[in-house]
Amino acid sequence: MNQKVKFLNSTHAPFFSTVRQRVEDYFQEKSISKHANGAMWRKAFFYMLASLGLYGLILSNQFSAGAMFGLAVLLGVSHAGLGFNVGHDALHGSFSRNNKINKALSFIFPFIGASPYVWNLTHNVVHHTYTNIPGHDEDIEIAPGLIRLDTAEKVNKLQRFQHLYGFGLYSLASLSWVFRKDYVKFFQKKIGQHPTLNHPKQEYFNLFFYKALYYGLYMVLPLLVLDITWWQFIIGFLALHLAEGFVMGLVFQLAHVVEGTDFPVPNAQGNIEEAWAAHQLRTTANFATGNKVAGFLLGGLNQQIEHHLFPKVCHIHYPAIGAIIKQTAREFNLPYLENATFWRALQSHYRMLQKFGPEAYRLQAEKYRGSLL
């Protein structure tokens, strides 16, 4: 698959122009900015101070091994929250109308182990454009050969059990970012079908410099200042990243790989016979939108529909514009997928792992046996 995808269907094109105008009218009528408000800034400072505070407590070397383990887990969760609530909005340019502030806050990503430049390519450019399209959206290629979410991919024997081990693999997301993913994506010729051959020279320096800085802060410095053994350090380092990775990996899956979401395949001409905005509604789902705790922790990523349609709007406004989008989708007879609770979304994702794994393997085996008869 090497064609550039185009969204050609005009049937639902008026939906986006309508909902965009209604959202614009909302901000104008309320005389409020689309960017961060006071509550958003307070949340940003909370996550920044929490991460710095937990890191400082660990380096203080004043706690027992058990307490240090707990602090490492909390730091991992805090890093995920920092990325969700601050870095993510900043990289989309939605945190502030001032691009210098957005750029400064985007450099939170290197301090939680990820490259903001690579993230922009894989997430902002590719994932947001080609959501859930096999061969284009590499975010659904979680662990090739281990996790199958592509209907065109042949099911192997191991994937019969992906519903059992899948959640454990999600925990490796952060470790992959730190040691593998950013390097691989940076030096690929293309991400999905998006060419990535002409990186600015500055980004080569940034990639290696900030990775080295991260390794220094989270590997070298703790080993130098903490009174721990090497194996205790490894346990703590893994605890941090497994906690961070599990939260990050799971949130994405609950937004795009649940019952009702589509995984459309381009036609022979490389086209998706659907308008882009309608495609986003068919490939994205919300969860736990009425849960204020989820909203605070997940940076609006439990409202992925709002995020995919309006990535330049700060997530603090998603609850308000969500009602507008939902009503407009109904008027245009388009889906607005949502799971009322986190638990329901989790169950739905588990069933999807079963569908793409053991159930698909059974159907594949039956088809093969039938061809022999």
Mean pLDDT per block of 10 residues along the chain (373 residues) reads 72 90 97 96 97 97 95 97 96 96 95 94 91 86 83 86 93 94 92 83 96 97 95 97 94 93 87 92 95 92 96 96 97 96 96 94 82 64
d(CA 184, CA 40) in angstroms, rounded, equals 34
* CA gyration radius, the chain: 21
Residue 365 lies in a domain: yes
Structural domain of 203: 6-372
d(CA 75, CA 60) in angstroms, rounded, equals 14
The phi and psi torsions of 172 (rounded to 5 degrees) equal -85, 0
Residue 153 lies in a domain: yes
Total of domains in the chain:
1
Q: Max Cα separation, the chain?
A: 71
Per-residue tokens: 116: 């903001």
Residue 49 lies in a domain: yes
Residue 131 lies in a domain: yes
Residue 1 lies in a domain: no
d(CA 336, CA 261) in angstroms, rounded, equals 10
Q: What is the pLDDT of residue 373?
A: 57
Chain centroid to Cα 371, Å, comes to 41
The answer to whether the CB of 244 falls within 8 A of the CB of 112 is yes
Cα 88-92-95 angle, rounded to 5 deg:
75
Residue 266 lies in a domain: yes
Q: What is the pLDDT of residue 138?
A: 81
Q: What is the pLDDT of residue 328?
A: 97
The answer to whether the CB of 4 falls within 8 A of the CB of 194 is no
The answer to whether the CB of 9 falls within 8 A of the CB of 274 is yes
Q: What is the pLDDT of residue 1?
A: 46
Q: What is the pLDDT of residue 136?
A: 86
